[in-house]
Structure 1
């Protein structure tokens, strides 16, 4: 499928009654599609996907359209949202350790590139802390500097290991044996029934 067909297919999966905070609806998307404003239509569909849980096929269509338009950040975001649709959402408030207290001296990329280890309370058979890997997406900023604070999303390598997390729980981020940051879990949402469509 080409870009317009992919965007049209995705827009058909959006219920007509949902709207963003700015009162954007799927009808607005259709207006931009008829004007061949594909990048705008893609952005509006991404916003609508944040308002209401949509099926995996929605995010897959958007990711493919973004890749065809060479919009790398949008493609990465749509792939990320597809992962969350399949595996659930984990959001946390992360504070990185200052450069004077940690190995990291440079900012981390916000676009889901870093895959740090996390102490989420799991233990090895001998009772030692077991670290679990999760990819990190920083909301609303392209980079997070040492000592910085931001809302983040986590994509665990092994989602079942993370099922015990609860809002308010404190977890620590590691890039080596030392603590690189501390996060407070904000939300944990299991996959919804729409994730299989």
Structure 2
């Protein structure tokens, strides 16, 4: 499919009653599609996708459209949201240790590139901590400087190992054995059940 077809397909997956804080609806997006304003339509659809959870097909179509439009960060975001639709959402308030206190001297990249280990409370049969891997997406920022604090989203390598997390739980990030940062879980959403045929 080409970009207009992908955006039309995505827009058909958004319930008509959904509107943004600016009262933007799917009808408004169709106006931009008819005028071949694809990047504007894409941006508005992406905004509608944040109003409430949308189906996997929406995010897959949006990801492919973003790739064709060469919108790299938007494509990464849509693929991230596809992952969350399949596996659930984990958001946390993350504080990275200052450079003087930790090994990290460079910022954490924002769009889900870093895959550190996390102590989320899992243990081996002998009681030793198990470190679990999850990618980090820094919300509303291109990166997080050492010593900085920001809301983040986590994409676990093995989502089932993270199902026990609850809001308020403190977890620690490790890039080596020492703690590189601390996060307080803000939100845990389980994936929506797959539709039955």
Structure 1 stretch displaced more, 76-85 or 124-133: 124-133
Alpha-carbon distance between aligned partners in 1 of 2:196 and 2:168, rounded to the nearest angstrom: 29
Name the counterpart of 1:109.
109
The total of aligned residue pairs comes to 197
What's the TM-score once normalised by structure 1's chain length? 0.97
Name the counterpart of 1:9.
9
Gaps of 5+ in 2: none
In structure 2, relative to structure 1, the CA distance for the partners of 1:187 and 1:81 (3 Å cut) is same
Does residue 1:72 correspond to 2:72, yes or no? yes
Alpha-carbon distance between aligned partners in 2 of 1:158 and 1:194, rounded to the nearest angstrom: 18
Cα offset for 1:125?
2.0
Alpha-carbon distance between aligned partners in 2 of 1:180 and 1:21, rounded to the nearest angstrom: 37
1:93-104 matched pairs, under 5 angstroms: 93-104=93-104
Name the counterpart of 1:172.
172
1:1-197 matched pairs, under 5 angstroms: 1-193=1-193
Alpha-carbon distance between aligned partners in 1 of 2:58 and 2:19, rounded to the nearest angstrom: 16
CA displacement 1:68-101 (0-9 Å, x = unmatched): 1111000000000000000000000000000001
Native 8 Å contact 1:137 1:152 kept in 2 = yes
Q: Tell me how large the CA RMSD over aligned residues is.
A: 1.3
Alpha-carbon distance between aligned partners in 1 of 2:173 and 2:68, rounded to the nearest angstrom: 35
Native 8 Å contact 1:96 1:182 kept in 2 = yes
Alpha-carbon distance between aligned partners in 1 of 2:76 and 2:113, rounded to the nearest angstrom: 10
CA displacement 1:15-52 (0-9 Å, x = unmatched): 01011111111111101101111111111111111112
Runs of 4+ more than 6 Å apart? 194-197
Alpha-carbon distance between aligned partners in 2 of 1:119 and 1:96, rounded to the nearest angstrom: 15
- SS, match of residue 39 in structure 2: helix
What's the TM-score once normalised by structure 2's chain length? 0.97
Alpha-carbon distance between aligned partners in 2 of 1:93 and 1:36, rounded to the nearest angstrom: 39
Alpha-carbon distance between aligned partners in 2 of 1:146 and 1:158, rounded to the nearest angstrom: 27
